[in-house]
């Protein structure tokens, strides 16, 4: 179970990195769009996140339900915004919204009762 949790966390963080990387790679560009890194990253982060929450619940480290619900809500909104705008140019405002939502989900993961501790 611990190995599965670590593998899912690893995949989850790779998804998050692809999403943020795909967003930041366009930071200086006048014309922005949903690139494949953002699409695949958002999908990977949400699917692995849900699985991770499931594994944590099944094990002995019950995750904070409210935290998971907030993460799921933010994740689903990100995924919906990404999937709804796949083949079109997106506004600076939408790009910034997706970036801020992504950063918000990292903040929730790190600061809101983390399931694992470093110290
Ligand atoms: C695109 C949206 C998301 C981003 C950017 C994101 C980002 C992250 C990051 C960076 C971590 C690592 C934090 C750490 O090392 O402690 C993390 C952990 C985690 N995420 Fe996500 N996440 C997203 C969506 C989700 C969703 C939808 C769920 C579940 C419904 C979820 C559940 C979790 C869980 C259970 C952990 C481990 C928490 C812990 O160890 O305290 N995430 N997330």
Ligand 1 and 71: CB distance under 6 A: yes
pLDDT above 70 for 109 = yes
Residue 30 alpha carbon to ligand 1 centre in Å: 30
Taking alpha carbons only, the member of 99, 78, 79 closest to residue 32 is 99
Q: What are 59-100's pLDDT values in tens digits?
A: 877 789 999 999 999 999 999 999 999 989 999 999 999 999
Q: What is the mean pLDDT of the chain?
A: 94
Q: Which residue has the tokens 């919906």?
A: 80
Residue 46 alpha carbon to ligand 1 centre in Å: 8
pTM of the predicted structure, to 2 decimals: 0.93
> Structural domain boundaries of the chain?
2-111
What pLDDT, on the 0 to 100 scale, is given for residue 117? 59
Alpha-helical segments (H) within the chain: 2-24, 36-58, 65-84, 92-111
């Amino acid at each position: 179970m611990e190995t599965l949790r670590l593998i899912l966390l690893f995949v989850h963080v790779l998804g998050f990195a692809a999403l943020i990387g795909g967003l930041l790679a366009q930071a200086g560009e006048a014309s922005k769009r949903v690139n494949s890194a953002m699409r695949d990253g958002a999908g990977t982060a949400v699917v692995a996140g849900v699985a991770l929450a499931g594994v944590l619940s099944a094990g002995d480290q019950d995750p904070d339900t409210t935290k998971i619900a907030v993460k799921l809500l933010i994740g689903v909104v990100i995924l919906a915004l990404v999937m709804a705008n796949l083949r079109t140019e997106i506004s600076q405002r939408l790009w910034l919204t997706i970036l801020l939502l992504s950063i918000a989900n990292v903040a929730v993961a790190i600061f809101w009762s983390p399931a694992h501790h470093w110290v």
